[in-house]
Amino acid sequence: MKIKSGFITRKIGDKIVAVAVGERIKSFNGMITINETGEFIWKCLEKETDTDSIVEKIKKHYDVDENFAREATIKFIDELRKNNLLDE
């Protein structure tokens, strides 16, 4: 899975947002505010990957346990799916 083409993240003030660019604007009008962990997962999803790989990267980057990393990853991926932002 990976983020669909035509989306980018930007820092605006103290917030991180994901927005559509180019042709993608026609099918997605708006923005999604994400936190630091969400941005980390987003960057992982800019290339083809899977949940287990992201969980391992979160565990190492944030020094957290498997359950926390997996829960955060699944929750964020579910939100991306709801907004049709993933190619799977």
Q: What is the reported pLDDT for 54?
A: 98
Q: What is the reported pLDDT for 65?
A: 96
In the chain, where are the structural domains located? 2-87
Averaged pLDDT score across all residues of the chain: 94
CA distance 2 to 14: 26
- CATH class of segment(s) 2-87: mainly alpha
State yes or no: pLDDT of 47 exceeds 90: yes
Cβ(88)–Cβ(7) below 8 Å = no
State yes or no: pLDDT of 27 exceeds 90: no
Helix axes 36-44, 51-62, angle to 10 degrees: 130
* 70: DSSP letter: H
Of 81, 83, 47, nearest in space to 73 by CA: 81
